[in-house]
Structure 1
Amino acid sequence: MICALGSAVCYGTASVLQAVAARAAEPGTGSGVDPALLLRALRQWRYVAGLALDGLGFVLQIVALRAVPIYAVGAALAASLAVTAVVAARLLRVRLSAREWSAVGVVCAGLALLALSSGAEGTEGGSTALRLAMLGVAVAVLLAGAVAGGLPDRPSALVLGFGAGTGFGVVEVSVRLIDGVTPGELVTNPAVYALLLGGGAAFLLLTSAFQRGSVTTATAGMVIGETIGPALVGVVWLGDRTRAGLGWLTVVGFAVAVAGALALARFGEAGVEETEGS
């Protein structure tokens, strides 16, 4: 859980840095899948710094996924939205209201409940059908991103964020579906390709989402995509369980953490434009 929370801090901080860089980059084609926009964003030092934090966060996430259930890691990563709000308040000069600070507290309370009730990760390896399904979802994320680019900015940011979250969710599940790391095992495992395609698609969509709408609108969609689906996969197909007699507390903790994160979707960021002009 410490690694999962550390990952959330890295991802939440990276989101703000990448959002500022994406806004400063020249407008792209308007498509939700725009590699050229990603390349232009990479010229910004903030985006590169955000990628470095993403890399560290991913390493911590893998360690966490190998030790605790997916639902616990997913809820912890939902806390990245709380981190995003707090960091944005500092870097983007945006004030958090009492309600938004309360939402940050709710997220922390939900994570505390999860820490108390989470059991060991499941021992089931997952079927070939599940591995292929993850690859199919990763492809669908790319297609959905292309379609979402034609929507108005605000709904586009939410849909692109959700698509990015789904891509990151594919990564979470795929990590659990990779058993061996020898070249032969990696080449023949569809989960490896799902991880690479899902992660790449997620970065493309999230960068577009940051340029099209607010940081927290995009991240709220991402939280939904990367928590609920992967948690269900972990419980239903990978054998994730809770501590004996504390299943209800896990459900409450998960719901509270995600609800608190989504409540922060109301957090505006009018200061982004001010920061860009300064």
Structure 2
Amino acid sequence: MICALSSAVCIGTASVLQAVAARAAQPGTGSGVDVTLLLRALRQWRYVAGLALDLIGFVLQILALLAIPIYAVEAAQAGSLAVTAVVAARVLGIPLSRTEWGAVGVVCAGLAMLGLSSGPEGAENGPSVLPYALLGVACAVLVTGALAGRLRDPARSLVLGFGAGTGFGVVSVSVRLIDDPAPAVLFANPALYALLLGGGAAFLLFTSALQRGSVTTATAGLVIGETLGPAVVGVVWLGDRTREGLAWVAVLGFAVAVAGALTLARFGEAPVDGVADADSDAGTEAGTTR
């Protein structure tokens, strides 16, 4: 659980940096998923720093997935929005209302309940078709992103966000299905390709959502997509369980953490203008000094 919470801290901080960078990148044409947006965003130092934090967070997430149930890890990932809110309030000067501070507390309470009630990860591998199903879902995420450009907001933002969350969910479940690191076995496992395709598609869709439309709506879709599906798969097919007699605590904690995260969904979007103005002021001051 410590790894899961540390991962949430990394990802929540990265979200602020990436939201700023994605909005500052030069807009492309069209309204759907823009493949070249990632290349333009990579020219922003904030986006690169965010990716580095995401990588650290991903490693910590894998360690957590190898020890505790998927539902606990995914709720912690949704709780990264509480981290984003606090970081945005401190670094970018975005004020938090009493309701939002309350939501941060609610997320923490929900995660504490999950930490108390979650048992060890399940020992089951699920049906043999599950890795192929994950690969199919990852492909569907890409198709969904391509079709999202035909929609209008808020539907477009919701679809992009939900698709990204589903892609991240595919990654979480795929990690559990990769149990043999031997190259001959690893590269023959469809779960590996589901992980790579799902993760890449998720980054692409959410980066597009950060730049266009309502990021608040997209972030809400992300939270729903990355928590509910993997939690169900973990409990139904992978044998994830709670501690004896604490199932109700886990269910309540999961619901509370996700509800609190949804309340904080607006912090998926950072106010680029304010950051740009700050950078501009700093540059002007430096020029005056010279």
For normalisation by structure 1, the TM-score amounts to 0.95
Correspondence list, 1:1-278, <5 A: 1-265=1-265, 271-278=271-278
Secondary structure at the counterpart of residue 123 of structure 1: coil
CA pair 249-113 structure 1, distance change in 2 beyond 3 A: same
Secondary structure at the counterpart of residue 36 of structure 2: helix
Supply the distance in 2 between the matched residues of 1:234 and 1:224 (Cα, whole angstroms). Answer: 16
CA-CA distance at 1:217 after TM superposition: 3.4
CA-CA distance at 1:220 after TM superposition: 2.1
Write the letter of the residue equivalent to 1:243.
R
Which stretch shifts more, 89-98 or 132-141? 89-98
Supply the distance in 1 between the matched residues of 2:151 and 2:59 (Cα, whole angstroms). Answer: 34
Indicate the structure (1 or 2) with the bigger Cα radius of gyration.
Answer: 2
Supply the distance in 2 between the matched residues of 1:276 and 1:152 (Cα, whole angstroms). Answer: 28
Q: CA RMSD in A?
A: 1.6
CA pair 216-80 structure 1, distance change in 2 beyond 3 A: farther
Tell me if structure 1 keeps the 8 A contact 2:210–2:269: no
Supply the distance in 2 between the matched residues of 1:146 and 1:30 (Cα, whole angstroms). Answer: 11
Supply the distance in 1 between the matched residues of 2:163 and 2:266 (Cα, whole angstroms). Answer: 20
CA-CA distance at 1:269 after TM superposition: 5.6
Supply the distance in 2 between the matched residues of 1:123 and 1:5 (Cα, whole angstroms). Answer: 23
Detail structure 1 runs of 4+ shifted over 4 Å in the superposition.
266-270
CA-CA distance at 1:149 after TM superposition: 2.2
CA-CA distance at 1:266 after TM superposition: 5.0
Write the letter of the residue equivalent to 2:106.
V
Q: Identical aligned pairs, as a percentage?
A: 76
Tell me if structure 2 keeps the 8 A contact 1:94–1:269: no
Write the letter of the residue equivalent to 2:78.
A
Write the letter of the residue equivalent to 2:264.
L
CA-CA distance at 1:265 after TM superposition: 2.4
Secondary structure at the counterpart of residue 103 of structure 1: helix
CA pair 268-186 structure 1, distance change in 2 beyond 3 A: closer
Supply the distance in 2 between the matched residues of 1:79 and 1:244 (Cα, whole angstroms). Answer: 25
Supply the distance in 1 between the matched residues of 2:165 and 2:95 (Cα, whole angstroms). Answer: 26
For normalisation by structure 2, the TM-score amounts to 0.91
* Structure 1 residues 41-74: Cα deviation after superposition (integer angstroms, max 9, x where no partner): 0000000000000000000000000000000001
CA-CA distance at 1:159 after TM superposition: 2.0
CA-CA distance at 1:215 after TM superposition: 4.6
Supply the distance in 1 between the matched residues of 2:140 and 2:131 (Cα, whole angstroms). Answer: 14
CA-CA distance at 1:146 after TM superposition: 1.1
Supply the distance in 1 between the matched residues of 2:40 and 2:265 (Cα, whole angstroms). Answer: 27
Which stretch shifts more, 142-151 or 52-61? 142-151
